Chains A and B, each alone.
Chain A
Amino acid sequence: MNSHSSGGHRLLLKTGITALFLFLFQVGFASAAPLKIVTSVPDLADFARRVGGNSVEVLSLASGKENPHAVPLRPSYIAKIRSADLFIQMGLDMEHAYAPALLAEARNLRLQPGKEGFLDLGEDVQAIGVPVVFDRADGDVHSKGNPHYNLDPVQAQRMVRAIGVRLAALRPAEAVQFRANADLYVKEIEERLGSWKARLSGKSVRFISYHPDFAYFAQRFGVRQEGTIEPKPGIEPGPAHIEALVRNMQSRKVGLIVKESFYSDRVPLELARRTGAVVVSVPIFVGATPEARDYLSMMDALVSGFATQ
């Protein structure tokens, strides 16, 4: 009876030690493998790479070159989303054209909204342009407000910190490193923000753009938006709107037409010819133009465009 019992204990001990080894092996193995992150836009991919360093593998669904409303649904990304540990999006309906369909088809249960693997950075934004009355007669408006907050470096800092917090939660063993990386990037953005502001201060820039992409940028840097080429978001301009725009640009002395890189330059060039304004093509996402390699260089290019006038 006794020997049987001690044999049972030994067996239990052996099993316990084996289980412990297996557990430790698994933990060690799991922490060695990089966290797989999928982001909706390349700006977020840049943040995640900087915060995660060598501990992450990052893929962006959009390349930055496309109009965010027309990002192709690339089926090869489904397999990548399938095995991802974290999905990060801007939210505010920025990605409605492609992210929900790809996420639904990838069927990764870790990335469902509300789970730790789903990070919507738009949830904490004080959105500009939230429609009081949501009416499509106002064009392709976003019910949650303007989603282009990535062009405000202070928002970028907030996003970097939020990504740091989430990566730390997903992999506590590397939390210190993630937070340190995030702090470093926040500081770099802080330093550049000063020089960006200096380049635009005192210039009293008045501009028009194709689409209302610069609301947050204008608020941060004090430049004045005097209209958009689209009469309403998503609606191509007709002759009457172009005439009104020309009159407005002349009376308000608007010298700058900011064209988001993916739009056609036909109307901007016509407006420039008629008003003498300068057309600059600028990136509004990382990867949109060759010089926009990462967030800092993208913002450099954007600020340079605005400083042209």
Chain B
Amino acid sequence: MHHAPQHAMSPFPKNLSSPLIAAALAISSSASLAASPANTDLEVLRKQIDALRGDVEKLQQQLHQQRLTQPYAAVPGRSQTIEPATARSSDPQLQTSGWRQGGPSLAPKGGISPNISVAIDAVGSYSQKQDNVRLTPRDAELMFQANIDPFARAYLITNAGSELDPTGKQGAFDQVTFGLEEAAIETTALPFGLQLKAGQFFADFTRLGKFHPHDLPFVDHPPVLEQLLGGETKGRGVELNWVPPVPYYIKLTLGAVDNVGAERSALGGFNLDRESTRVFQTPETRGFGSLTYYWRGASVIELGESVFLHMGTNVLHGRDEGTRTVWGADAKLVWRLSGNNEAEIGGEFLSGRQSGALTHPLHGADTGGARGKGGYVYAQYRIGKTWTPGVRFDFVRTHTLAEADSTGGTTTDSLETSDETLRAVSGYLGYQISEYQRLRLQLTYANSNQAISGDSKHDLQAFLQWTILLGSHQHALTP
């Protein structure tokens, strides 16, 4: 059954007869009530008035809607009676301040003005080996979103923040950078369950790479995402996703962007220092062959009433910073228990390789390659609406190889290799103060075969995160 789209911009009322039908209905319904046996009763009269008032409101609403369909028409306020309140708390201490009893809704209808929301994520960190305390506004996001017309919506997110680096010595406030996080247009009315997105956005690749840091279940991005993707899957390009019309929920995504992540490459260490590390060269011009293409297939299966299994697979191939291929798989099991309690176990595995031309700030040009693999597993248990304790285990192994470029590289060694293996265990405890405010404490012990904190190969790091959300906030389904 298909309905032709209704034209919201049409200057003519769609259906002039509908108020008449409603009026006829109002009369007929009141007539049928009047015919009931106990019509002399005052109570019944009051009911009739209630019923009539409902019908009149319906008529008013229809007129109001029709006025709204006329472009640039003045929107009159809805004139409605205000009922006397009988349910008011008589104790001033227990009254909810700023509330009005009764009265019509003054909230604007429609979504012409954009929804604006803010997220601030303040993180304090401490590195035991470095005896270093840092306090940073890791994220201060400003988000605007609105429907453009019946066919598309757009959103824009700016971010001011700094890298989470407990061992870093620099003054935190020097490092706050302001920039565009996401700016994208998304279709809302494509047929067959298709959706197209274009602009700059977090690519739908991996489970947690597309999450803004304050939305993660823990304080930091797992090291495997940091090393293979640069933490977040930011890219500039287009993404097409499809929810096929099958009885199960499956989402298939295809994307073409300049690069996914891109802040760092697989050659980076646990805490990458660009000043002393080789990085892959980016192409000066870009043909279709130099784009990064990715795919994600994800599904959520319901195992009974309250157990949900999320699964996903990802593949990426690109030629931005060298030739890069990353593939991975992820899963999450959520078990909803009584009393708002919820158990969650999740994990992700990623493997990648990269090769191409390298540059080094001191040594010049090389060629080389890198490969890495790793993953994380976490388990958490939400107790009621407030406490969420959890643990996470991380493992990443990277292998890099740099060869002297025969055409003029100045590397002292003709062959340099480096292997790094990082293991970390974290414990965290979240405390949800309200729906819009959360505190989280995390302790992480990391150990590597390379120096990761000054000269030390291991470190104990502590994080205290305070996250707030301002403005409209909607829950989303993230398969």
Binding site for B on A (CB under 8 A): 30, 67, 69-70, 72-76, 78-79, 82-83, 85, 92, 96-98, 100-102, 104-107, 109-110, 112, 114-117, 123-133, 135-136, 138-141, 143-145, 154, 157-158, 161-162, 165, 179, 183, 187, 190, 193-194, 212, 214-215, 218-219, 222-228, 232-236, 244-245, 248, 252, 264
B248 to A: closest C-beta gap in Å: 7
B249 to A: closest C-beta gap in Å: 4
**Known contacts A74-B302, A76-B247, A78-B243, A126 near B103 by CB under 8 Å:** yes
Chain B residues 55 to 106 lying within 8 A of chain A, measured CB to CB, are 55, 57-58, 61, 80-83, 85-91, 93-94, 96-106
When distances are taken between beta carbons in the complex, the residues of chain B under 8 Å from A133 are 98
B87 to A: closest C-beta gap in Å: 4
Q: How large is the interface on B (under 10, 10 to 19, 20 to 34, 35 or more residues)?
A: 35 or more
**Residue B412 is within 8 A (CB to CB) of chain A in the complex:** no
**Residue B29 is within 8 A (CB to CB) of chain A in the complex:** yes
B interface: dominant SS: loop
- Check B87 against A126 for contact (C-beta < 8 Å): no
Chain B residues 283 to 297 lying within 8 A of chain A, measured CB to CB, are none
- Check B1 against A131 for contact (C-beta < 8 Å): no
- Check B246 against A79 for contact (C-beta < 8 Å): yes
When distances are taken between beta carbons in the complex, the residues of chain B under 8 Å from A97 are 475
When distances are taken between beta carbons in the complex, the residues of chain A under 8 Å from B89 are 225-227
- Check B58 against A126 for contact (C-beta < 8 Å): no
- Check B87 against A183 for contact (C-beta < 8 Å): no
Kindly identify which residue among A74, A129, A234 contacts B434, using a CB–CB cutoff of 8 Å: A234
When distances are taken between beta carbons in the complex, the residues of chain B under 8 Å from A73 are 475, 477
Distance A212 CA – B191 CA, assembled complex (angstroms): 42
Binding site for A on B (CB under 8 A): 1-3, 5-6, 8, 22, 25, 29, 32, 36, 43, 47, 50-51, 54-55, 57-58, 61, 80-83, 85-91, 93-94, 96-107, 109, 150, 188-191, 193-195, 243, 245-249, 251, 300-302, 306, 308, 336, 339-340, 384-386, 434-436, 470, 474-477, 479
- Check A222 against B247 for contact (C-beta < 8 Å): no
Kindly identify which residue among A129, A190, A245 contacts B94, using a CB–CB cutoff of 8 Å: A245
**Known contacts A74-B302, A110-B3, A225-B87, A126 near B102 by CB under 8 Å:** yes
A218 to B: closest C-beta gap in Å: 4
When distances are taken between beta carbons in the complex, the residues of chain A under 8 Å from B82 are 126
- Check B8 against A114 for contact (C-beta < 8 Å): yes
Kindly identify which residue among A144, A145, A154, A245 contacts B50, using a CB–CB cutoff of 8 Å: A154
Q: Specify which of A72, A85, A96, A133 lies most central, judged by the most chain B CB atoms within 10 Å of its CB.
A: A72
- Check B189 against A109 for contact (C-beta < 8 Å): yes
- Check B86 against A222 for contact (C-beta < 8 Å): yes
- Check A165 against B246 for contact (C-beta < 8 Å): no
